[in-house]
Amino acid sequence: MNSQQTVRNLDELQFDNQFTRNLPADEEAKNFRRQVTGACYSRVLPTKVARPQLVAYSKEVADLLDLSADTVKSDEFAAVFAGNQVLAGMDPFAMCYGGHQFGNWAGQLGDGRAINLGEVRNSRGEHWALQLKGAGPTPYSRTADGLAVLRSSVREFLCSEAMYHLGVPTTRALSLVLTGEQVERDMFYDGNPRHEPGAVVCRVAPSFLRFGNYQICAARGDLETLRTLVDFTIRTEFSHLGEPSRAVYLSWFEEVCRRTADMIVHWMRVGFVHGVMNTDNMSVLGLTIDYGPYGWLEDYDPNWTPNTTDATGRRYRFGNQPQIALWNLVQFANALYPLIEDAEPLQQALDVYVDHFEQGSRTMMSEKLGLNSFQPETDIKLIEEIQEVLQLVETDMTIFFRKLSLLESEGESSADIDEAALLAPLMEAYYEPEKVVGEVRTRILAWIHSYRNRLRDEQSSDVVRREKMNRVNPKYVLRNYLSQLAIDKAEEGDFTLVNELLEVLRRPYDEQPDQEQHAGKRPDWARSRAGCSMLSCSS
């Protein structure tokens, strides 16, 4: 297949299933809940459903797989990506892994409702794993049913693609398919279950390997499988490092540390809160993976978490994500220790994470402020102060940084400009603008003066700065209330808003004047509504 060819029939997809071909399989063929040892995966077929119906798909991800629009809109596509049909060349399986959940070792976890269909090699030689989420039980489902509801599936589908277009490293989403069946869920685990529409998302990534895949081997003392898995990972996903060896293991871990730091910097840049940063939700490729009770920081509150399960301890709150990523990397290092047998070089790699994140974070904040470079003597204080100022009164993070680009630095000095004029571009970011008075107003203005002086020192034009800032400060993010509005309509059989949001979020940095309604602050009705303020892991 050359680079111009398009798959018009799903049977034309070229499968190259490296994972199942090279790694040890579970010897038990039957699908029942159990502990799986000495294996990296269990073969399992998706559960067939009643009436597959395509809700939405990502054109960009279809292009990655060389799929034409007509193919994606076919009945066969809906059947395959709901789990009703297994194509020739597919080799469906669920991964075995463990993990630390909320800081505690949880033992075997695994793909409890994710089934990997196979790995496609496209016309450009790229390798993409296809995974269905919500396609039925696996040996790792424990007490769950392996299914997913439309509510959580809409959120996963939209956020996967929104994050990609924001420039955040992420797994992708090809399709969202209704199953035509009802699934019982107790959204807040409070004894009030209800039936919801079932759905399946097809997730796409080069690999879905996560820290927990390696942790389970180390925890069981299965060093042979651990080494086999590490060697496979390096040969398939990190081949640029060379053939596996002790030195290459260390280079690989250091690269994982750097990629993780880059991912967290991007999360902090756009105000994303993952909500469940367990080690089994950490990709070795540095991709955002497993979109559960995530949220977007609307009011700038570093202590906010979207996860009801985390409401007391707030372990996974926005401001703690960099530290949690490091903690998770330490657990990953512990799993790799038997292959290294020396803590010092592993610690050096962890230090790389700290340094890389700090440097990346400073660069990121400089870019959000439109500065040409980071100058420690002035910018450390400038950044620390804005992070405090944003918390003085309820401030929408996304709108604040987007509107900050409108501040003029050329022309008159700050002392000669009316204070109301200085504040005017930012007033739209405040949920209660009437509170921007007194000491709060004074402190905000003091920061604006400092910021404006810093800009004047650089002598760059406002036009150029504005263009730079608008490339890193999005206008559109997937606010929880927008997702909930789309879910409400979808549950009534109207998928227009799901597809409208998908289109808007493809260009999050563009103005899109006809989509202003999707760029506004969280409305008052969404402050406490389920799905808009806090979410549970129920999905």
Catalytic residues: 280
User: Distance between CA atoms of 483 and 478, rounded to whole angstroms?
Assistant: 7
User: Distance between CA atoms of 86 and 79, rounded to whole angstroms?
Assistant: 9
Type of residue numbered 154: V
Nearest CA to 392 among 331, 465, 301, 473?
301
Inter-residue contact 487 to 531 (CB < 8 Å): yes
- Mark 313-352 as b/e (b = at least 16 C-beta within 10 Å): eebbbbbbbbebbbbbbebbbebbeebbeeeebbeebbeb
Note the helical H segments in 203-319.
Answer: 211-219, 223-237, 246-270
User: Distance between CA atoms of 92 and 44, rounded to whole angstroms?
Assistant: 6
Sequence-separated (6 or more) residues with CB below 8 Å from residue 56: 157, 175, 176, 495, 498, 499, 502
User: Distance between CA atoms of 370 and 166, rounded to whole angstroms?
Assistant: 17
461-465 long-range contacts, CB within 8 A, separation 24+: 461/410, 462/408, 462/409, 462/410, 465/370, 465/405, 465/409
Specify the DSSP class assigned to residue 130. E
What is the distance, to the nearest Å, from the Cα of residue 455 to the centroid of all Cα atoms in its chain? 33
User: Distance between CA atoms of 318 and 309, rounded to whole angstroms?
Assistant: 15
C-alpha torsion angle, residues 61, 67, 69, 70 (rounded to 10): -150
- Length in residues, the chain: 539
User: Distance between CA atoms of 526 and 482, rounded to whole angstroms?
Assistant: 10
Q: What is the DSSP string of 455-499?
A: HHHHT--HHHHHHHHTTTS-S----HHHHHHHHHHHHTT--HHHH
In angstroms, the Cα distances linking 420 to 397, 437, 446 are 21, 11, 13
Tokens matching residue 74: 């076919």
Inter-residue contact 139 to 206 (CB < 8 Å): no
User: Distance between CA atoms of 128 and 64, rounded to whole angstroms?
Assistant: 8
